[in-house]
Amino acid sequence: MIDYIEPIKILSKYIKNYLIVETNNSVDYLPKERVYPCGYATMVFHYGSPSKFQKKNSGKCIEPNLVICGQQTNYYDLSLSGKTGMILIVFRPHGVKSFFNFPITELLNENLSLQDLSNNEANELEDKLFNSPNNKQRVIHLENFFIKRLIHNNEFKRVEHAIKIIENSKGQIKAQDIAHEVCLGIKQFERTFSKYVGVNPKKFASIVRLQNVIQMKSNYKKSMTQLAYDNGYYDQSHFIHDFKSLTGLTPKAFFNFRK
């Protein structure tokens, strides 16, 4: 079962949605799935059995019950428990910084226990979530937690505008052009953007472009050459190199696997 819940209005600028995932299988773990960069950080609460993940060139690990997963620039493999029950808080690209006052770049390619970042509050939240009778009540506790932690900052709207520019261009725009649009020098823009999003604008644009390639291939029957051309890659080798660096697979292998 997969279900989506929209956040309340005050949080909708910072949180995209809540995703409920439940499985009920007799096996300990389901077959692994490749997780590739999507441009969003998440926070995950496991009220069922935690998932198992394996990062690139690393061993397998069990996720903590309450974990923050930062922006990803590398792929990893995830195996859901046969008895999965979890809520994913899907932040908007710049949303995490509005709740946690530490360098968001420290979360890059990391899955960290919330206790490592906010010990007492994490314990209290985890207790409330475990003792909740249903997911509706769990979402209420999560939203109360986020409202109490909400940090307002004047830079937020500028970064929000920069993200919209990148998304509207499908990732096909240079950082200096975005900096001009938001009235910042290129170095200051890159620092401000990374501070809120966790990756620099060039890398974020490459992730947005990857997502557009995947969506375009899903919606239209296009050749790999046409996909590369439509998404602004210099040539086929550039397309394959960028795609493989983010997913660990060539475009052909990736889309054959998803059939």
Residue 48: φ, ψ to 5°: -105, -150
Write out the H or E segment, with its range, that includes residue 243.
Answer: helix 236-247
Do 120 and 11 lie in one domain? The reply is yes
Contact by Cβ (8 Å): 52, 217 = no
Neighbours of 18 (CB within 10 A): 21
Do 215 and 180 lie in one domain? The reply is yes
Do 131 and 38 lie in one domain? The reply is yes
Q: How far apart are CA 130 and CA 188, in angstroms?
A: 43
Do 210 and 114 lie in one domain? The reply is no
**Could you tell me the mean pLDDT of each successive run of 10 residues in the chain, 259 residues long?**
95 97 90 92 95 85 92 93 95 95 90 84 93 96 96 90 97 96 96 96 96 90 89 91 93 83
Cα 12 vs. chain centroid, distance in angstroms? Answer: 16
Of the candidates 149, 176, 203, which is a domain's last residue? Answer: 149
How confident is the model at residue 259, as a pLDDT? 62
How confident is the model at residue 27, as a pLDDT? 87
Of the candidates 119, 149, 179, which is a domain's last residue? Answer: 149
How confident is the model at residue 148, as a pLDDT? 94
Do 131 and 194 lie in one domain? The reply is no
How confident is the model at residue 190, as a pLDDT? 97
Contact by Cβ (8 Å): 34, 75 = yes
Residue 91: φ, ψ to 5°: -80, 155
Do 173 and 90 lie in one domain? The reply is no
Q: Give the range of the structural domain holding residue 17, as residue numbers without chain letter.
A: 2-149
What is the total count of domains within the chain?
2
Of the candidates 124, 149, 174, which is a domain's last residue? Answer: 149
How confident is the model at residue 26, as a pLDDT? 83
CA atoms within 13 A on the CB side of 258: 14
Q: State pTM to two decimals.
A: 0.92
Of 136, 24, 154, residue with least CA distance to 97: 154
How confident is the model at residue 218, as a pLDDT? 83
Do 143 and 161 lie in one domain? The reply is no
Query: Any idea what the CATH number is for the domain that residue 168 is in?
Result: 1.10.10.60
Query: Any idea what the CATH number is for the domain that residue 62 is in?
Result: 2.60.120.10
| 135-149 and 119-130 helices, crossing angle to 10° | 160
SS3 51: coil
Residue 95: φ, ψ to 5°: -80, -35
Do 180 and 244 lie in one domain? The reply is yes
E runs forming strands in 47-151:
52-55, 60-62, 66-69, 76-79, 85-91, 111-113
Do 116 and 16 lie in one domain? The reply is yes
Do 200 and 116 lie in one domain? The reply is no
Cα 169 vs. chain centroid, distance in angstroms? Answer: 19
Q: In sequence order, what DSSP letters do the residues of 138-183 get, joined into one string?
A: HHHHHHHHHHHH----TTHHHHHHHHHHHHHTTT-S-HHHHHHHTT
Do 39 and 85 lie in one domain? The reply is yes
| 201-219 and 156-168 helices, crossing angle to 10° | 40
How confident is the model at residue 55, as a pLDDT? 87
Quote the Cα angle for 135-143-130, to 5°. Answer: 40
Do 69 and 171 lie in one domain? The reply is no
